[in-house]
Amino acid sequence: MPRITQLIAPQKIEIKEIECLSAGPGEAIIEVQHAGVCGTDLALFHGDYPVPLPHVCGHEFTGRVKNVGNGVDTKWVGKTVTAEINNTCLAYGKTTLCTACKKGVPSHCQTRTVTGIINHDGAFADEVKVAAGTLHEIPSNVDPLIATLTEPLAAALQTFEMSPIEKNETLVVLGPGRLGILVIFAASLKGIKTIAVSRSETKRNRAIQFGAEHTFTPDNAIEEIKNKTEGLGADMVIDTTGNPGGITQALKLVRPQGTISCKTTCGLPATGLDMTQLVVDEIRLQGSRCGPFKPALKIIQSHQQKLKSLISSIRPLEETQTALESASKENKVVLNMRID
């Protein structure tokens, strides 16, 4: 029988056997191979991002399609895939669409569920059910383990879809952790000169390896970034700290009429935000979330070994509790559901 790992209380995981999942119309059942732990999973685990319990986390995953429901092409069965996280009107193949899907913003579908996050059990399990329209086949020459990075890399790419930046402008990434390092890597592929800010020497060194031009600690970041921008500040600051205070730090580094890109989803509110500076300096705040999977998979296909180095440990499903406990201190923990 397939197993699921349920979050039954903050910081408490329970493993449970269930009946095999069945696919409804427009759905696919995936036998999970690998599932990555991200900052949102940790926010759910710690209770900072409250959801109804019990809940199965996990939205960065790869696996093989086991079966599909009515209306889904059976060619998917047996394919190795990953999946977008938003189960929407379009993804289910519905004929009647909500207003958001009609307007071309399906990631904000008004009836959506979000795999592993909102009203939809996730991939920290032997099987996961998703809307078939979310599926993306993983190329045969791509390691499914590395392909667990597709969703966060797509989110990194979305940063620049929502907030374009020119090569001659200065970009600062706060918190080069699980997501931040992928943002730096995506920026480097675009030829953007990037500065990383972190207290961790290990993270600063890794940021250089993944394309950052300079790195600073938070203690000297303001002075150094001002020096490098003739006293003005960075054109764009991306907050990937995973901390609600990251946006306050970003306000100290961004130039007037610059952009702060918000990527933190820790579930906690930002307090003490200086609205006067935000208004007077005419600073643009831009959130960005889910991104394009196809270009993310192409990047992974071309840079597998480099990206594989970001995966710090691989744990069996039985160790989900300890994996989540240690993931705050590691770069990227991946759960391995089965050994083929």
Range of the domain at 113: 3-152+291-336
Q: Tell me: do 172 and 255 sit in the same domain.
A: yes
Query: Is 234 domain-assigned?
Result: yes
Q: Tell me: do 279 and 297 sit in the same domain.
A: no
| 257's tokens | 């009429």
Question: Number of folded domains in the chain?
Answer: 2
Residues 231-258: tens digit of each pLDDT: 999 999 999 999 999 999 999 999 999 9
- Asked if residue 340 has pLDDT above 80, the reply is no
Q: Tell me: do 12 and 148 sit in the same domain.
A: yes
- Asked if residue 329 has pLDDT above 70, the reply is yes
Q: How confident is the model at residue 267 (pLDDT cuts 50, 70, 90)?
A: confident
Residues 65-98: tens digit of each pLDDT: 999 999 999 999 999 999 999 999 999 999 999 9
Number of Cβ within 10 Å of residue 11's Cβ equals 11
Q: Tell me: do 169 and 112 sit in the same domain.
A: no
> Strand, coil or helix: what is 227?
helix
Query: Is 132 domain-assigned?
Result: yes
Q: Tell me: do 190 and 280 sit in the same domain.
A: yes
What is the model's pLDDT at position 266?
Answer: 86
Residues 17-68: tens digit of each pLDDT: 999 999 999 999 999 999 999 999 999 999 999 999 999 999 999 999 999 9
Supply the mean pLDDT for the chain: 96
What is the model's pLDDT at position 55?
Answer: 98
Q: How far apart are CA 110 and CA 118, in angstroms?
A: 12
What is the model's pLDDT at position 137?
Answer: 98
Residues 101-158: tens digit of each pLDDT: 999 999 999 999 999 999 999 999 999 999 999 999 999 999 999 999 999 999 999 9
Residue 210 near residue 181 (C-beta atoms within 8 A) = yes
Any idea what the CATH number is for the domain that residue 193 is in?
3.40.50.720
What is the model's pLDDT at position 271?
Answer: 86
Q: Tell me: do 30 and 147 sit in the same domain.
A: yes
Q: Tell me: do 145 and 199 sit in the same domain.
A: no
Q: How confident is the model at residue 272 (pLDDT cuts 50, 70, 90)?
A: confident
What is the model's pLDDT at position 310?
Answer: 97
Q: What percent of the chain has pLDDT over 90?
A: 95
- Asked if residue 339 has pLDDT above 60, the reply is no
Q: How far apart are CA 56 and CA 5, in angstroms?
A: 6
Greatest Cα-to-Cα distance within the chain, rounded to the nearest angstrom: 63
Q: Tell me: do 242 and 304 sit in the same domain.
A: no
Q: Tell me: do 48 and 115 sit in the same domain.
A: yes
> Strand, coil or helix: what is 125?
strand
